[in-house]
């Protein structure tokens, strides 16, 4: 059962893939779900509010945050891209969000960080939240900045944040790498719910993954959040192996946790 502890909850990036997955699910967590994106969101349903805002527009973000009790922040660029768009959406935009939260007295944020913060660790090792960041590109770098920004706003102003290093959240794993990184949509909701409702969150880094047999991530430092995944990529293992070739260990994408992100992007 989902405990409803917030009256009005803000979901940014609501038009994206994970935003769409959470739009209906998060209604159980609040009385009013405020949805925001730069893309079309359709008509507001029962218990919904829609506020269009560009994260790089500080004034628009300030208005977007007004009156909310907590924020689930999925907004911004979610793939590798050129630096300027990432700068505006993921760096300037996140600063604008935290400034708005500070000014409006919002004390809890669930921040969609990424496994690409640590993408240059080997697939043959297990890391925890104390492992230094090793971003695999500009996108991962922006998320590492976001985690540090969230820590600053906790240390100085007491805004608690769960930095959720989302793995691969799809209906099912698409390849062998995702057998380790997969996060089901229902487990994503369970994780967000745990972050919103745990009594004391502080600044916490937690890896967003389901209960997969193969994993590169250890969440023991986030046990206080109370996240208990219930789904597993293991039921897809035979099908994934049948349709995909054995990994080429000469390919960096097969060696590093970031997968293809370690060899893609705007770099020359």
> Is 241 designated active site?
no
Query: Residue 264: which pLDDT band, with cuts at 50, 70 and 90?
Result: confident
CB 46 within 8 A of CB 28: no
Catalytic residue among 98, 121, 139, 256: 139
Looking only at Cα atoms, what is the longest distance across the chain?
53
Task: Return all residues near 65 (Cβ < 8 A) that are at least 6 apart.
Answer: 10, 71, 97, 100, 101, 104, 106
How much is the average pLDDT of 208-213? 98
Higher pLDDT, 160 or 3: 160
Position 29 scores a pLDDT of 97
Going edge to edge, which strands form the sheet with 30-37? 48-52, 30-37, 6-12, 70-73, 108-114, 160-166, 203-208
- Beta strand ranges found along the chain (DSSP E): 6-12, 30-37, 48-52, 70-73, 108-114, 160-166, 203-208
- Are the CB atoms for 19 and 37 separated by under 8 Å? yes
Q: What are phi and psi of 36, to 5 degrees?
A: -140, 145
Give the residue-averaged pLDDT of 101-124: 98
pLDDT mean over 85-99:
98
Q: Where exactly are the structural domains of the chain? A: 6-262
Give the whole-angstrom CA distance, residue 47 versus residue 230: 28
Q: What CATH number should be reported for the domain whose range is 6-262?
A: 3.40.50.720
The structure tokens 């719910």 sit at 193
Is the overall model pTM greater than 0.75, yes or no?
yes
Q: Per-residue pLDDT for 84 more than 60?
A: yes
CA 132/CA 170 separation, integer angstroms: 27
171-198: pLDDT as tens digits? 999 999 999 999 999 999 999 999 999 9
Per the CB < 8 A criterion, the answer to whether 191 and 138 are in contact is no
């Amino acid at each position: 059962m989902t405990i409803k502890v917030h009256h009005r909850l803000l979901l940014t990036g609501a038009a994206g893939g994970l935003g769409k997955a959470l739009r209906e699910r998060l209604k159980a967590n609040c009385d009013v779900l405020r949805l925001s994106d730069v893309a079309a969101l359709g008509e507001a349903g029962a218990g919904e509010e829609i506020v269009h805002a560009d994260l790089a527009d500080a004034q628009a973000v300030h208005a977007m945050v007004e009156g909310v009790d907590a924020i689930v922040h999925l907004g911004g660029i979610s793939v590798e891209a050129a630096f300027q768009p990432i700068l505006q959406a993921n760096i300037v935009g996140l600063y604008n969000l935290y400034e708005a939260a500070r000014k409006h007295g919002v004390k809890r944020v669930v921040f969609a960080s990424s496994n690409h913060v640590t993408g240059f660790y080997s697939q043959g090792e297990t890391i925890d939240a104390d492992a230094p960041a090793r971003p695999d590109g500009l996108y991962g770098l922006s998320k590492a900045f976001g985690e540090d920004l969230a820590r600053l706003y906790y240390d100085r102003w007491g805004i608690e944040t769960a930095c959720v290093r989302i793995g691969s959240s799809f209906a099912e794993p698409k390849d062998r790498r995702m057998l380790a990184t997969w996060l089901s949509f229902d487990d994503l909701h369970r994780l967000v719910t745990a972050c919103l409702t745990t009594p004391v969150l502080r600044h916490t880094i937690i890896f967003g993954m389901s209960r997969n047999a193969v994993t590169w991530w250890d969440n023991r430092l986030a046990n206080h959040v109370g996240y208990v995944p219930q789904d597993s990529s293991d039921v897809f293992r035979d099908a994934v192996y049948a349709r995909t070739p054995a990994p080429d260990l000469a390919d960096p994408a097969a060696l590093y946790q970031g997968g293809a992100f370690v060899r893609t992007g705007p770099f020359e």
